[in-house]
Chain A
Amino acid sequence: MSDAHAEATHPHDAHHVNYFAIFVALLVCTALSVVFDLVPLNGYIVTFLVLAVATAKAMFVMTYFMHLKFEGGWKFVILLPTAILAVGLMIALTPDIGLHYYTYDVPQVREYDKAHGIEFGAPHAEAEHAHDGHSAAPADKPGH
């Protein structure tokens, strides 16, 4: 049994990968994501493109650098459950924390509604983001 084991320990010696080419591909992907950030597209499209590029980079690293292309079926046995659980966690948390399908009574939401003239308790159309912190608005009453 140990003979078969030693013989099969390094099967990937037969497969030659041009690591430099993969490295260049990774650099191109990084440059692409910077380019997508600078081009004035809709924010959601930029997000999708940048995350797609990140996924492509991850696939390059996993398939070639980590050699998964040449490994057997065990890679799915190990990686699929973790991937499913990872995505599952986000799906599980989204309704309560990501979407707030009920009125979410925390100080930050009350402040946000006050600052935007929204009546507290009225549903928001979608999560809106003020994109910078603001210094105190003089119109607000001092104190809390």
Chain B
Amino acid sequence: MSHANHTPAMKMGIPIPNSKLGMWLFLGTEIMFFTAFIGTYIVCFFGSPGWPTSTEVTHINIALGGINTFVLILSSYFVVVAHEAMGLRDFVKARKFLTYTFALACVFLGIKGVEYKGKFDHNILPGRIAENQFQLMNNRAREFETVLNKELDKIVPGRQLPYEKEKELEKRREEALKADPKSVTVQTIDAWRELRVQLETLRTDLSANKLTPEQVEERIHHLPNNVIDIQAQMYHDQKIIPYGNLFASCYFLMTGFHAIHVIVGMILFARPLTSTLDERWTDWVENSGLYWHFVDLVWIFLFPLLYIVPGSLGHAM
């Protein structure tokens, strides 16, 4: 069959560029990607009696979430203005609004960073949250041990294991004692050993089931802290949070993947911003805009589901 002078009678394909169709197909798969996590969160929420809903426990900041929603909606508007400008060949305006969008994306990530830091500061991480008394007490003992090992690293720097470093302590203490009986090193080593004994006693009593969480907190509170300050390095308000680990998992999965998508969007915008903007970039800007609107859409659903609904449903029950 010759194509030389033959016009096809039927128009083939959809009247959009291949890249746009490709982006829409990708967005279709992304919809399924995010609804997998969001659907799992919803189903787990309703199936978990005792799921943490109070913002004092989950440390979810509704104000920051609201600001992020506004930031993303504004950035979506700017992207669409940039796309319109590209169509009208006003490349200066398009570059300006693409830059605004990129800047707003940075603001979004900054606020997300603040929220994440809030979670890390309260040890709201999957696998770290105590869901019953036993776990709470063991967590506190483990934390005590971690801090103690950090202090040991300061006294005996190096890459040996803690028990090897402990053996070295005696040698160091003698050397320091010979040099100056009142040296700080001697005091620090003595204080460390005292704390080590306290940790051993705590662990022994915990294993023997002799303690309640209040008693564990009492002991930690009364640790000697004139030379080495242990309490300052430990978390202050550890609670038992039923389903806390599942909640933390869902939260970080959803918001983490969303943040990764924001970063990918920023890379998409960075490419035209770091070159000369002309007609060849029209399709790129349109498709990046589509991707960015999708990212905004996901957040439009994440915001009520994570920030507003748990509070209102928690109070309802």
Contacts and interface: CB of A to CB of B under 8 A. Distances in A.
Contact of B297 (A20, A58, A72, A81): A58
Contact of B213 (A22, A58, A108, A135): A135
Given A129-B50, A131-B315, A133-B57, A140 B35 contact: no
Contacts of A142: 133, 137, 209-213
Contact of B317 (A83, A107, A128): A128
A140 B133 contact: yes
A30 B66 contact: yes
A47 B312 contact: yes
Interface stretch (B72-80, B113-121, B150-158, B270-278): B72-80
A15 B250 CA distance: 41
Scoring A5, A8, A133, A142 by chain B CB atoms within 10 A of each residue's CB, the highest score goes to A133
A129 B296 contact: no
A122 interface: no
A111 B132 contact: yes
A33 B214 CA distance: 41
B49 A129 contact: yes
Nearest to B34: A86
Contacts of A131: 52-54, 314-315, 317
B314 A9 contact: no
B309 A51 contact: yes
A117 interface: no
Contacts of B87: 10, 13
B47 A97 contact: yes
B134 A143 contact: yes
Contacts of A97: 43-44, 47
B313 A43 contact: yes
A74 B17 CA distance: 13
B242 interface: yes
Scoring B40, B51, B297 by chain A CB atoms within 10 A of each residue's CB, the highest score goes to B297
Q: Is the interface of A mostly helix, strand, loop or mixed?
A: helix
A99 to B, nearest CB: 7
A47 B301 CA distance: 12
Contact of A133 (B32, B70, B242, B309): B242
Contact of B31 (A30, A71, A86): A86
A46 B305 CA distance: 12
Contacts of B43: 90, 93-94, 97-98
A27 B70 contact: yes
Interface string B1-38: 00000001001111111000100110111011001100
Scoring A54, A81, A90, A93 by chain B CB atoms within 10 A of each residue's CB, the highest score goes to A54
Contact of B32 (A8, A34, A82): A82
B285 to A, nearest CB: 12
A82 B53 contact: no
A54 B303 contact: yes
A136 B46 contact: no
Contacts of A23: 73-74, 77
A9 B47 contact: no
Nearest to B56: A132
Contacts of B316: 42-44
Contact of B312 (A46, A82, A140): A46
B239 A133 contact: yes
B304 A54 contact: yes
Given A43-B312, A90-B39, A19 B242 contact: no
A81 B39 contact: no
Given A5-B15, A108-B48, A129-B313, A82 B31 contact: yes
B147 interface: no
Given A46-B308, A81-B28, A89-B35, 13 more contacts: A19-B84, A43-B314, A50-B312, A98-B42, A99-B47, A127-B317, A129-B53, A132-B53, A133-B242, A136-B133, A136-B136, A142-B213, A143-B133
14 contacts: A5-B13, A8-B16, A9-B16, A47-B309, A47-B313, A54-B300, A74-B24, A94-B46, A107-B131, A131-B54, A132-B53, A132-B54, A136-B133, A138-B214
